[in-house]
Structure 1
Amino acid sequence: MYETLTYQGGVHRHEEMKELIEDLGGFVLQENMLQMDLILTLAVPIEDVDKVREKARELLGKVKVAPMAGTEIAIVSPTLARHHLPHSACDISEYLRRYGAKDNMIGLARGAGKGISRISEDEKRLIEEHDLAVFALGSFEQCIKDKAHLFSDINIPVVVTGSPEKIDLSELPGADAYVGGLGRIPRRLKRGEDIRALRKLVEVVEDILDRRRREMAADPPLVPSILVKTEIENQVPAVKEVYSPTPVTSQLDGVRVKLNYDRYHDEIADVRVSDYRLGDISEIRKSMMYDYILVKLLPESSIL
């Protein structure tokens, strides 16, 4: 079992932390360098967490648990127009990143106005490539209810946010949870009530992701996705030439590889993970996002 952590420290001597993680049999899931500051998202064996904390103290850094690490979350807004973005949806996105999530902002093409809001099949398929979707909606209860058709048949967990404190889930078909206090606000979410609402959202998202992990544990993939990520990075040289953040993004049941599907899917399929060929233990398909490669690991029962 692995514990996911976030390490925050300086660039100086950061290689020592990465070498320790490798020696412990752990993985670096994500690395962000901001001028002289470094943020690492890690997965290390549970029994070795104290060694990582000790090294962080030596390097004058900080370590905290990142319960959403290794997941990819879609933050969906009805439109990209200024009356829906940037404030609440962007602040939700930024706050989830603090807990280790890799999230993507998605604005629907025809979401403006409750009477004409629509979602296309391509948009649904793009959202369903993620582990969970947060639909950041507006300030009026009836408007939120009228837009339930946007997520009613999305086949991943859906969390809806809006301004009203409570909405009965029976009136939001397709939603797994609703979090209030996060409507359209023309300012940054910095006040006390805003932070409390964001913390509530984190609790709800963590609970749903933990539920999914427990469900997967009943019939898990043959190899964990964090190991697949590491092997792709080690065996596919083209990954090192990708300038996008997290060129191989971990998900609960697979990875997203930011390489062109037509050019590289055969090479990805031939990657060796433990004693297996990746193409034999996963479904490899073209992503709806920039023609990237989406690798979805198959459960043991469908292979053995």
Structure 2
Amino acid sequence: MYETLTYTGGIHKHDEMIELIEDLGGFVLQENISQMDLVLTLAVPIEDVEKIKEKAKELLGTVKIAPMAGTEIAIVSPTLARQHLPHSACDISEYLRRYGAKDNMIGLSRGAGKGISRISEDEKKLIEEHDLVVFALGSFKECITHKTHLFEDIETPVVVTGAPEIDLEDIPGADAYVGGLGRIPRRLKRGENIRALKKLVEVIEEILDGRRREIMDDPPIVPSVLVKREIENQIPAIKEVYSPLPVVSQLMGVRVKLNYDEYHKEIEDVIVSDHRLGDISEILKSKMYDYTLVKLLSETSII
């Protein structure tokens, strides 16, 4: 079992931290450098967490649990128009990243309007490629309860946000609802906004923990973090991808930011713990820029 952590510190001697992570059999999931500051999202064996904390103290950095690391979350807004973006949805996205999540913002092409809002099949399929989806809706109860058709048949766990307090039973199709996060024409910096964001994090963590427990009952043969590392090591084209996180970890697979038609055969032939990746997973074309999705099969489905 691996523990996911976030290390925050300076870039001075940060290679020592990376070397320690690799020596312990861990993985760097994400690396962000801003001027002289460094943020690493990493996964290490649970028994070695204290060694990471000791090294962080030596380097004058800090370490904290990153419960959302290794997951990909969609933040969905009814439209890309200014009344929906950028404030609330962008701040939700930025806040979730602090807890290790890799999130993608999606604006629906016809989501505006209580009576005319729609979601296409391609949009649903794109959303379902993620581990969890947050629908960032508006400020009126009637508007939110009349837009449940946007997510009621989506298989991915759904968290809905809005301004009013609403009973979950009034929002069919949602796994959770968090109030206090409606359409606000400013940054979410006030006390009530921060409390709502913290509540959202708690709700998402609870859902993801439940999903992890389900996976542990019938896990994949190899963990997704190991698949990520082997793809990065065995496919040279990954080094030419300039997009952030060329390989994104998910709970049951990875998203590879390489064109499916050109690279899926090469990805299928990657060897992970003596297994050919194509034999223990489904390799699919993503709805996102024709990237490649690797969906790991569970142990019982392979036997």
* Short-chain TM bin: over 0.9
- Tell me the equivalent position of 1:283: 282
Is 1:150 equivalent to 2:168 in the alignment? Answer: no
How many Å apart are 1:164 and its aligned residue? 0.5
Q: Aligned pairs, how many?
A: 303
Question: TM-score scaled by structure 1?
Answer: 0.99
Q: What 5-or-longer segments of structure 1 have no aligned partner?
A: none
Q: Name the amino acid aligned to 2:98.
A: R
- Tell me the equivalent position of 2:183: 184
Q: Name the amino acid aligned to 2:90.
A: C
Q: Name the amino acid aligned to 1:253.
A: M
Q: How far does the alpha carbon of each residue in 1:39-73 deviate from its partner, in whole angstroms, 9 at most, with x for none? A: 11000111111111111111111111100000000
Q: Name the amino acid aligned to 1:276.
A: H
- Tell me the equivalent position of 2:233: 234
How many Å apart are 1:170 and its aligned residue? 2.0
Q: Name the amino acid aligned to 2:91.
A: D
Percent identity for Structure 1 against Structure 2: 81
Structure 2 Cα separation of the partners of residues 241 and 12 of structure 1 = 26
Q: How far does the alpha carbon of each residue in 1:129-180 deviate from its partner, in whole angstroms, 9 at most, with x for none? A: 0000000000000000001000010011000000002x12222111000000
- Tell me the equivalent position of 2:242: 243
Is 1:111 equivalent to 2:111 in the alignment? Answer: yes
Q: Name the amino acid aligned to 2:157.
A: P
Structure 1 Cα separation of the partners of residues 213 and 49 of structure 2 = 22
How many Å apart are 1:37 and its aligned residue? 1.1
- Tell me the equivalent position of 2:38: 38
Structure 2 Cα separation of the partners of residues 49 and 209 of structure 1 = 21
- Tell me the equivalent position of 1:122: 122
Moved over 2 A (4+): none
Q: Name the amino acid aligned to 2:226.
A: L
- Tell me the equivalent position of 1:19: 19
Question: TM-score scaled by structure 2?
Answer: 0.99
Is 1:100 equivalent to 2:96 in the alignment? Answer: no
- Tell me the equivalent position of 1:68: 68
RMSD of aligned C-alpha atoms?
0.6
Q: Name the amino acid aligned to 1:46.
A: I
Structure 1 Cα separation of the partners of residues 134 and 287 of structure 2 = 18
Structure 2 Cα separation of the partners of residues 62 and 265 of structure 1 = 39
Q: Helix, strand or coil for the counterpart of 1:264?
A: helix
- Tell me the equivalent position of 2:138: 138
- Tell me the equivalent position of 1:29: 29
